[in-house]
Structure 1
Amino acid sequence: MGSMDDYTLAADRYDDMTYRRVGTSGLKLPALSLGLWQNFGHDTTLDAQAAILRAAFDQGITHFDLANNYGPGPGAAEENFGRHFARDFQCHRDEMIISTKAGFEMNPSPYGTGGSRKYLVSSLDASLRRLGLDYVDIFYHHCPDPETPLEESLGALRDIVAAGKALYVGISNYDAELTAEAADFMEEEGCPLLIHQPRYNMLDRWVEEDGLLEVAADAGLGVICYSPLAQGRLTDRYLDGIPADSRIARAPGNGALEADWLSDAALTSLRALNDIAGERDQTLAQMALAWILRDRGEQTVTSVVNGASSVAQLESNLHALDNLDFSDAELEAIDSALVTNDEK
């Protein structure tokens, strides 16, 4: 890539990416979005971050997904993205979709978590300062808050759009019933929800069991899924056990990855999935991404939030888009290979 000061955008950056309309809105997102949950905190060099961001934009990834608490520490990913944006992307702001969220704990004060108007509005203001932006394209309530009236949280989202601090608003981690209630409220308020961001992958299919995909389609919401590779389990990284340099080995019990998620039964399942992917000329990760993005009619997923720790990983995952078609036999084989997974 050269030094951090000699970046020139690829002129053909839109030639190969697939863009999908978000629900019934006028907005389109790339089939793969770049998530900054991992690898953009203070534990990763700015050079490594810049390389990933530049490669993503050069490949047509226009959507960059953040949250107030992404790090480490909280706020670090937004701060670092703001640095990269100011240097490399500021003159291309109109070609970018930048999203952030608030809901999970940002600080230990009474106003640093949840869904109150106080927290959502003040958090977004702080996010905009860290990002160096006047507005974000999408602002999410990151998780439902049973201690705050739903109308208060959604009213804050409505007023954030009215204030010009976000162009669109969405929700994340809401179940189907609450999503339907939220969509109805926002429709009546004249500020329709744009999108829902749930966790979804081959090993965690709660959105199917809950009926969320159907509810989102009926309400005109797009769906963008996070954790599509189940925190690395749906890759070839753990097929032969736990590598010494993996996050499980370095920080067991950290809540992101647990060693018991890779039991003998789970590994047998993953190896069977890997064999199916090989028959499709895909890696396990590529097949896992393609499986989410496959044609489901009205319930087709809009985009997948894809994390990357290197340019090579990003470019490999992008090849998932080369084959999004699955035969009935392949889908049946995948279902047969999966083991019951109670992780939520």
Structure 2
Amino acid sequence: MERRRVGRSGLRVSELGLGSMTWGRDTDELDAAEQVRDFLDAGGTLLDTAASYADGDAERVIGSLLAGKVDRSDVVLVTKAGIRTDDRPGAAARPGAKVVDASRAGLIDSLDASLERLGTDHVDLFLVACPDPNTTLEETCSALRLAVTSGRARYVGLSNHPGWAAARAATLLEGDVGLAALELEYSLLERGVERDVMPAADALGMGLLAWSPLGRGVLTGKYRRGLPADSRGASPHLAAFVQPYLDGPSSAIVEAVATAADGLGRAPLEVALAWLLARETVASAIVGARTPAQLRTSLAALDIALPYEVHAALDDVSAPELGYPERW
């Protein structure tokens, strides 16, 4: 598996990353261990998680694997903070409600708890999960600087932030810590990052980590004929996550991918990943497999290079709407 540099930083990651959003909930430790084994055997390194995944259980699963089955030096460990459960006394009316908290105290406390669950003294990349309208970007960046200078994180970045925020954060951290990475949703079904995030990343030397590169599973083609009973789209806690891409415009893109896949003798999933990995700014595409079998199908996509005509056709059918000022 190809190793790619994350922007202009010294961090290098595998072109395919392994996500853990379902670990500790839909994926048990045995299946997670098998996924990690297959991923490492294929040359993968980037293991992506978050404090909020399964309320910390995803990190606990990874910590258990690092304690016995996986060498810490074999993985590039990424975690995210900034979304937490609201456990204040007055929050009893909404038990388990999630709140955004990118304050200095919130981020550092979350990182410390993550390190404890992961059983390590540092992560390779620490990301702020989403914008916090109640905290200044200056304060958030001060937490990122502290994460690096204290040795808790080797590199830092942002997730799900717009281009202006990425540019501002890069300026605030310029000269010492730096902003290495941006993690955002990016696929043939969601190309919004091309409007302003990718230009900002290109100009300021940040690498892009793409989450949900298979359009929340829809680009596999599994939903073309209905809603499989064992799919995320039929899951009580993930149905709303998949639903936005089960509409007409998305279906047209899925059919184009399926047509291209038939012509190439490959699976739709492989075509969708190959299209994404050909984008220059993308350092890694993070796939979140529920089962080891699902992961193996993603790993099989790494040997395909799309013909120019196919790539151009997929570009056209999925092109995002651009207007002023993106297009002058």
Does TM-score exceed 0.5, indicating one fold? yes
Cα distance between partner residues in 2 of 1:274 and 1:34: 24
Whether the 8 Å CA contact 1:137–1:167 is kept in 2: the answer is: yes
Cα distance between partner residues in 2 of 1:245 and 1:32: 25
Residue 5 of structure 1 is matched in structure 2 by none
Whether the 8 Å CA contact 2:17–2:44 is kept in 1: the answer is: yes
Q: 314-323 vs 231-240, which deviates more?
A: 314-323
1:60 aligns with 2:46: no
Q: Over residues 183-221 of structure 1, what are the superposed CA-to-partner deviations in whole Å (9 max), with x where a residue is unaligned?
A: 111004x11011110111111111112x21121111111
Whether the 8 Å CA contact 1:273–1:337 is kept in 2: the answer is: no
Residue 34 of structure 2 is matched in structure 1 by 51
Matches within 5 A, 1:155-304: 155-188=142-175, 190-209=176-195, 211-251=196-236, 254-258=239-243, 261-263=245-247, 266-296=250-280, 300-304=281-285
TM-score, with structure 1 as normaliser? 0.85
Measured at CA, do residues 146 and 325 of structure 1 come closer, stay the same or move farther in structure 2, by a change above 3 Å? same
Cα distance between partner residues in 2 of 1:218 and 1:136: 26
Residue 313 of structure 1 is matched in structure 2 by 294
Give the aligned residue type for 1:246.
S
1:121 aligns with 2:108: yes
Aligned pair partner of 2:56 in 75, 81, 103 = 75
Give structure 1 regions of 4+ aligned residues with deviation exceeding 6 angstroms: none
Q: Over residues 298-319 of structure 1, what are the superposed CA-to-partner deviations in whole Å (9 max), with x where a residue is unaligned?
A: xx31111111122222122122
1:148 aligns with 2:127: no
Q: Over residues 208-267 of structure 1, what are the superposed CA-to-partner deviations in whole Å (9 max), with x where a residue is unaligned?
A: 12x211211111111110011111110021121111222323428842122x64245543
Cα distance between partner residues in 1 of 2:4 and 2:102: 30
Aligned partner of residue 20 in structure 1, secondary structure: strand
Superposed CA RMSD in Å reads 2.2
Q: Taking every aligned residue pair, what percent have the same amino acid on both sides? A: 37
Measured at CA, do residues 186 and 103 of structure 1 come closer, stay the same or move farther in structure 2, by a change above 3 Å? same
1:99 aligns with 2:99: no
Whether the 8 Å CA contact 1:294–1:326 is kept in 2: the answer is: no
Residue 7 of structure 1 is matched in structure 2 by none
Q: Kindly state the Cα deviation for residue 30 of structure 1 after the two structures are TM-superposed.
A: 0.3
Cα distance between partner residues in 1 of 2:110 and 2:307: 42
Q: 118-127 vs 284-293, which deviates more?
A: 284-293
Cα distance between partner residues in 2 of 1:247 and 1:319: 22
Structure 1, unaligned runs of 5 or more:
1-16
Whether the 8 Å CA contact 2:274–2:304 is kept in 1: the answer is: yes
- Number of equivalenced pairs: 313
Structure 2, unaligned runs of 5 or more:
92-97, 322-328
Give the aligned residue type for 2:182.
H
Q: Over residues 14-65 of structure 1, what are the superposed CA-to-partner deviations in whole Å (9 max), with x where a residue is unaligned?
A: xxx1111111122211000101112x12343221121111111111111100
1:31 aligns with 2:6: no
Q: Over residues 52-104 of structure 1, what are the superposed CA-to-partner deviations in whole Å (9 max), with x where a residue is unaligned?
A: 11111111111100100001xx0010011111111111xx2223211111012
Measured at CA, do residues 165 and 242 of structure 1 come closer, stay the same or move farther in structure 2, by a change above 3 Å? same
Cα distance between partner residues in 2 of 1:34 and 1:250: 21
Measured at CA, do residues 28 and 340 of structure 1 come closer, stay the same or move farther in structure 2, by a change above 3 Å? closer
Cα distance between partner residues in 2 of 1:339 and 1:24: 27
TM-score, with structure 2 as normaliser? 0.89
Cα distance between partner residues in 2 of 1:304 and 1:286: 12
Aligned partner of residue 113 in structure 2, secondary structure: helix
Cα distance between partner residues in 2 of 1:221 and 1:181: 13
Give the aligned residue type for 1:20.
R
Measured at CA, do residues 319 and 254 of structure 1 come closer, stay the same or move farther in structure 2, by a change above 3 Å? closer
Aligned partner of residue 237 in structure 1, secondary structure: coil
Aligned pair partner of 1:333 in 307, 313, 322 = 313
